[in-house]
Structure 1
Amino acid sequence: MKKFLLAFVLFGSILACKKETQSLDYNNSVLEEKVFQEVDFDTLKTINEGVIKDTKMKLIAKGYQVFDYVDEKTKDTILMQQYFIAFLKSGPIRNQNEEEATRLQNEHLAHLGKMYELGYADISGPFGNNGNIKGITIYNVPTLKMADSLANSDPMVKAGRLIIEVHPWWAAKGFSLR
């Protein structure tokens, strides 16, 4: 009898939770619809344009190259910024012993981490094959000279294990990887 009562109470609790969840889902849907109906999209667009303009002016003041791109489909203005992509290639000196190569790799990773922490690099990573290009770093700096200097300060580059090839690269400001 105790097992029957326990099962009955448990079943009743599950049903009560399910009804409460359905009620919450309904209430959230109604709330979202109400908020959506009350949003003034013209105001949001004006605010967004102000943010873009402010961001653009700050970047230009720091020496960054930027331009506006208008999406034909949405008519949204997208701020494009010039970044610098550094290709890390096999260098001429790759005969370090295992201990030295491990030390250089650790210093290389610390350098890339420091570049990220300081805001100079947005993303870094190795390629998954064994080709001549070993990896990339995307530098978020205003000039090619600065990106080249930062990339060449990598301990692996200084040791000759890697060489750097840097190119300007454009991307939408504020967009993230998916």
Structure 2
Amino acid sequence: MKFINKMFVLVCLITAIFSVNAQEINPRYDQDLAERLGADEYGMKRFIFVILKSGSNVSQDSELRNEAFSGHLANIKRLVKEDKLIVAGPFGKNADDYRGLFILNVKTINEAKKLLETDPAIKANYLVPALYNWYGSAALSEYLDASDKVWKITP
């Protein structure tokens, strides 16, 4: 019986060793790029995913509203230039009253909250953010360079 237990342990150990060695290394792996983007060994990193919902401010003052949303767009552009915002965009009409999303290139909810405090539409409560930790491809920020080359007219 001891022999069978020892054989079982040996077979498990050999299987584990071959399983570890069976992982494939990406032949296109670019260590410099991975390090620059902050990628872990899986090519992933932590971000903060933000869903913007309509806030409680339903003011009919179009001048104040336009000012807040002009500031919102200017803030988006600033955060992109600072490499803090890598995805932003509006939702179409929906039952959940979601207005848009951000993916922020920061690691903590607190860092994200500080960035969002600079947004005039959030400050004025036209928009309310819901923040979530998110784990995604570290290469996500690389799409920004391409996205800057495909728009023809400033939104």
Deviation at 1:67, TM superposition (A): 4.0
Tell me how many residue pairs correspond in the alignment. 117
Residue 85 (str. 1) matches residue 49 (str. 2): yes
The match for 1:167 among 96, 108, 132 is: 132
What TM-score comes out, normalization by structure 1 length? 0.57
Q: Which one is further off, 158-167 or 168-177?
A: 168-177
Aligned residue for 2:72, secondary structure, equals: helix
Residue 146 (str. 1) matches residue 111 (str. 2): yes
Greater RCO, 1 or 2 (C-alpha within 8 Å, sep 6+): 2
Q: Which amino acid aligns with 1:68?
A: E
Deviation at 1:96, TM superposition (A): 4.0
8 A contact 1:86–1:151 mirrored in 2: no
Give the 3 Å change call, closer, same or farther, for CA 103–49 of structure 1 in structure 2: closer
Give the 3 Å change call, closer, same or farther, for CA 143–98 of structure 1 in structure 2: same
Cα RMSD, aligned residues only = 2.6
User: Percent identity, aligned pairs only?
Assistant: 25
Give the 3 Å change call, closer, same or farther, for CA 92–68 of structure 1 in structure 2: same
More helix as a share of residues: 1
Q: Which amino acid aligns with 1:51?
A: D
- In structure 2, stretches of 5+ residues that fail to align are 1-25, 144-155
Distance 2:94 2:60 in 1: 18
Q: Which one is further off, 102-111 or 88-97?
A: 88-97
8 A contact 1:88–1:135 mirrored in 2: yes
What TM-score comes out, normalization by structure 2 length? 0.65
Equivalent runs, 1:14-163 vs 2, <5 Å:
45=27, 48=29, 50-51=31-32, 54-55=35-36, 59=38, 67-69=40-42, 79-131=43-95, 132-163=97-128
